[in-house]
Structure 1
């Protein structure tokens, strides 16, 4: 009755109504009021499971995949495609709310772009042909080409090109949270590598490189604030621009042993870079792995006879990889030119294909000359190039390129794939950084600033965000131009692109924060911050609802972040194990002991700490902690 009075119901009117009407009217009010006032597990779709999910399609599941299934937060629809259930969606909504808050604070506006895009703009930028088989392509009934969007650079640039003409309309910062599609060859690891995923992408437009760089720095700071509010360990690494393009790039990683990326960082100065881009100072003393490595001996004799490796590296046996650098002529009738490229590193170093491609041209690398034939196809080799990595002359200054000549005849393996029997014996040797760095390499920043060899450490990590300074890569071809203040000719806008994988972030947080019992959610994004679990005793269930109300009031949030596990068919112990699996940050236990002692137990999921409290003090307990 007291609850009904608080809700503003006219009890006198109910009391004087005919008996039949009272019986029909009161239950409807009570049902509606109870269903909206308290969140209840008994009415939630949260199909938890004690089953140990280990393998799917022959692949071992990563922890986040197992736990999202067991905690009833997602279900697989097909390979690489998942349905997110209500608890998982609550987490995604909270992540998105944090992102919205921080991006709005730096002047970003939210919009929504289509998922099915026309091919027209993608053909203009050239990415219709270069993106590869990961792109989902389709045709409409008229035969027009479309794609399911893997990203939206072309779409947003074409939009802004139509709507912005003057410098007075800039800067513009627009973003969306939407679905992306990529046809992964081997979709695996649940939400970490799927075919359909949720992503936040922000696009910025400025009048100059200087202003675009200020925007870039502002967004980086906003990203850092987002990661700090999420409450998980992260790293920001210098990165390669890849297929997106641009001049400046950073990756945001969550540190995890199941990560596919490797991040190198210096504890002394904070320099951090991903493995593909990292520049490290190689120790001058060769490692045991380098001196004991034995190559397949396809080219080492060449290297020794040509005298292209410094004498200090005489104890290091090189490792070789091969590639084909193709150059196409404007006249399609003329045959293409192909250069055989051999990349030599020390035996303990892996060739970094990105560094090689940036230095001499894009190519694919293989281990043997036999594999090289598949890259050549019907083409033949016209000349050769040898790339000598710094790992073969550690501690020495970079050497200048030079031309060398093979003594004697061209080896049979090379002449067999040459276009001409009289292929020149002279070829170019270039020296540079073509290797992946590794733990123990010296920090380049410390060498310059301190003159000291500070070793870098390597950590496995999951990439969850990527920022790019695009410049005019998209605005120029798509005519996103503006009239500058000087009233000269129109200029292309300076663009930036900033992605953040939302579903990938969800899984990555679990990878970084779980134990054998289940998920350990950071308080800021937990599906519910507090769960009230109770035994089936009527006195306990009544007290649990009073506790619910006190906790809800103490949290002081607009939408309730408290839920009561009132399931009648399960035991108290089962509910507590479910609570640990789901990962509620706080659990309040109203057990049978409450009827004897008047005490309830509060447990913190992250630390395992427990408190026994008289139930009226629950309010002050949670209020003091400012949850």
Structure 2
């Protein structure tokens, strides 16, 4: 009897609400009509590799399915999340004057050959030919394409600045596609390209975009970091990476808790402690060649003796005259025993140096070539706290080479001298001092390391692409043509989705931030007729309260129990779950659960609308 009274009272209380609800219609989002194939299967491995959490959970929650290695189909729930991420990006980029366009994914090789990247981009590019034998590629990025486009459309400084971006698919032939959407062969990316008159204006644009990126990351609702970074194959003079913090991240970030300085490990510059570690002082060389180099006495010694560790590589420089052979320099990089060589820093200083694991492996890098020069790069870790010595050449006339080197340099073109240079050629590590605090405050503030997933990268390109592709404009003086100053800015959309899962999940499933969840609220109901009718009314009330037409879904499946639906809701990761179950029939109260905190509320019907009105997203107000 009490249950019947409760239902009648509910119907009377909700009648007025149904009439005034903003979005009431015969259509409601229903799980029973949605392709969301959740699975209780514990996905663990694929192709012999252990799955990362995002890969497991996006499969289990029915948001994606694998088509082939590194290629995935995105299902409706996953697409809703991508759409919401894209909408946030659109909003912030439009606020700084960016315009959206669409560029082709099948690109001619012509522009890539003009910039030199057709040859230097490596094997990650999908290259193909059309029926006429012309070279094409599936776009991994669009610098050449958009620069060529703007070059044809812009003639005067009055038409600048221009800021254009797109959201589309990119293709890279990953050697080892892994970790689901984190490293695939096909992915969705937002790429923005900017064109300015002067370098100063281009830097102002760069700063504006970086701030917009920060706002985007904040709205996504997960911990993030911005790090100084290397420009890599894209090129340019200024670069930052945007990371989502995660234990499974491939990148290591070093950061200072005092001033906030953060840098990718590959680029980080740290102050080396003056007291060597035990590993550094106890390291001993076991190979003949390193001992020979050390005997030349060109490596500075710290107060406590530190024996150097060596890594070898080859630097090849093509000859200016095609009739002559290229020059090959055998490079030895000396660091303290507790430091690893940073290949990027070495290549930045001298050119593309290919490092080998041992002297024996050098012959493979040389091929048919012969060594003409020897160079020793002495790292800062061997003289911490001291000014670097000046570069010098050490004569090796009359000096007998170790057997390991003789076969590499035993010919008449060898110059019989060793060039010695000093600098920063090591990877920084936790405990190294912050360079900014050392410079500005004179204090040794140790840096800490954290793992992270790179989701975005910003580049100040300058004229790297505008010069070879003739993207010029007539200057204000009306006479001279000048190259446009460019920047490019990428955000991985599918990578963002996976990274959010990596940063926000638990043993039950995904915990979506409200800004990108497929639906903010799910209403689950038992199979009782009274609960089903009530759930329909709850849907309308919550939707009106949130002021969002498409952010509520009703799990009205009849073939599953209430408990199964609740576990599905936790796996999928809806931020809010409204339960209309047996308790409603007894008390007339509706249970609301918050996925992130686990909090629960038992609400009387009249309070339900006010509860969700207080929890509208600010950007939807």
1:493 and 2:445 are equivalent in the alignment: no
**Which residue of the other structure, out of 57, 69, 77, is the alignment partner of 2:47?**
57
CA shift for structure 1 position 330: 2.4
Other-structure match for 1:10: none
Looking at structure 1, the residues matched to 55 and 616 of structure 2 have their Cα atoms a distance apart, in angstroms, of 32
CA shift for structure 1 position 255: 0.5
1:285 and 2:275 are equivalent in the alignment: yes
1:311-322 mapped onto 2 (5 Å cutoff):
311-312=301-302, 315-322=305-312
Other-structure match for 2:363: 373
**Which residue of the other structure, out of 404, 416, 421, is the alignment partner of 1:425?**
416
On the 8 A contact 1:382/1:419 being kept in 2, the answer is no
1:344-423 mapped onto 2 (5 Å cutoff):
344-406=334-396, 408-418=399-409, 420=411, 423=414
1:478 and 2:454 are equivalent in the alignment: no
CA shift for structure 1 position 418: 1.2
On the 8 A contact 2:88/2:216 being kept in 1, the answer is yes
CA shift for structure 1 position 33: 6.1
Listed one character per residue, the Cα deviations across residues 241-276 of structure 1 (whole Å, up to 9, x for unaligned) are 110000000000001110110111101011111001
Listed one character per residue, the Cα deviations across residues 28-60 of structure 1 (whole Å, up to 9, x for unaligned) are xxxx964xx210001110000010000000000
**Which residue of the other structure, out of 565, 570, 574, is the alignment partner of 1:575?**
565
**Which residue of the other structure, out of 96, 111, 127, is the alignment partner of 1:137?**
127
Size of the aligned set, in residue pairs, is: 599
On the 8 A contact 1:410/1:425 being kept in 2, the answer is no
Other-structure match for 1:27: none
On the 8 A contact 1:208/1:493 being kept in 2, the answer is yes
1:171 and 2:151 are equivalent in the alignment: no
Looking at structure 1, the residues matched to 415 and 95 of structure 2 have their Cα atoms a distance apart, in angstroms, of 63
* Unaligned stretches of 5+ residues in structure 1: 8-31
Listed one character per residue, the Cα deviations across residues 531-574 of structure 1 (whole Å, up to 9, x for unaligned) are 000000000001111111100000002x3200010100101110
What SS class does the counterpart of residue 417 from structure 1 fall into?
helix
TM-score using structure 2 length: 0.94
1:138-217 mapped onto 2 (5 Å cutoff):
138-217=128-207
What SS class does the counterpart of residue 311 from structure 1 fall into?
coil
1:253 and 2:256 are equivalent in the alignment: no
Looking at structure 1, the residues matched to 300 and 481 of structure 2 have their Cα atoms a distance apart, in angstroms, of 53
On the 8 A contact 2:330/2:371 being kept in 1, the answer is yes
Greater RCO (CA < 8 Å, at least 6 residues apart): 2
CA shift for structure 1 position 480: 0.4
CA shift for structure 1 position 296: 3.4
Other-structure match for 2:499: 508
Listed one character per residue, the Cα deviations across residues 198-219 of structure 1 (whole Å, up to 9, x for unaligned) are 0000000000000000000000
Other-structure match for 1:554: 545
Looking at structure 1, the residues matched to 410 and 156 of structure 2 have their Cα atoms a distance apart, in angstroms, of 55
What SS class does the counterpart of residue 364 from structure 1 fall into?
strand
RMSD, aligned CA: 1.6
Other-structure match for 1:441: 432
Looking at structure 2, the residues matched to 102 and 445 of structure 1 have their Cα atoms a distance apart, in angstroms, of 31
Kindly tell me: are residues 422 and 107 of structure 1, through their superposed partners in 2, closer, same or farther at Cα, counting changes over 3 Å? closer
Listed one character per residue, the Cα deviations across residues 457-483 of structure 1 (whole Å, up to 9, x for unaligned) are 111110000000000000001010000
1:576-595 mapped onto 2 (5 Å cutoff):
576-595=566-585
On the 8 A contact 1:306/1:405 being kept in 2, the answer is no
Listed one character per residue, the Cα deviations across residues 320-374 of structure 1 (whole Å, up to 9, x for unaligned) are 1111111111222211111110001111111000000011111210111111111
Other-structure match for 1:229: 219
Other-structure match for 1:522: 513
Looking at structure 2, the residues matched to 310 and 216 of structure 1 have their Cα atoms a distance apart, in angstroms, of 41
Looking at structure 1, the residues matched to 228 and 62 of structure 2 have their Cα atoms a distance apart, in angstroms, of 37
1:341 and 2:310 are equivalent in the alignment: no
What SS class does the counterpart of residue 408 from structure 2 fall into?
coil
Other-structure match for 1:533: 524
Other-structure match for 1:46: 36
Other-structure match for 2:230: 240
* Unaligned stretches of 5+ residues in structure 2: 1-10
Kindly tell me: are residues 424 and 479 of structure 1, through their superposed partners in 2, closer, same or farther at Cα, counting changes over 3 Å? closer
Looking at structure 1, the residues matched to 478 and 288 of structure 2 have their Cα atoms a distance apart, in angstroms, of 63
What SS class does the counterpart of residue 464 from structure 1 fall into?
strand
What SS class does the counterpart of residue 621 from structure 1 fall into?
helix
Other-structure match for 2:314: 324
1:256-275 mapped onto 2 (5 Å cutoff):
256-275=246-265
On the 8 A contact 2:253/2:452 being kept in 1, the answer is yes
On the 8 A contact 1:313/1:392 being kept in 2, the answer is no
Looking at structure 2, the residues matched to 100 and 81 of structure 1 have their Cα atoms a distance apart, in angstroms, of 25
On the 8 A contact 2:288/2:402 being kept in 1, the answer is no
Looking at structure 2, the residues matched to 424 and 129 of structure 1 have their Cα atoms a distance apart, in angstroms, of 31
On the 8 A contact 2:574/2:595 being kept in 1, the answer is yes
CA shift for structure 1 position 408: 3.0
Listed one character per residue, the Cα deviations across residues 274-321 of structure 1 (whole Å, up to 9, x for unaligned) are 001100000001111212334332333224321112232663222211
Looking at structure 2, the residues matched to 95 and 298 of structure 1 have their Cα atoms a distance apart, in angstroms, of 57
On the 8 A contact 1:415/1:421 being kept in 2, the answer is no
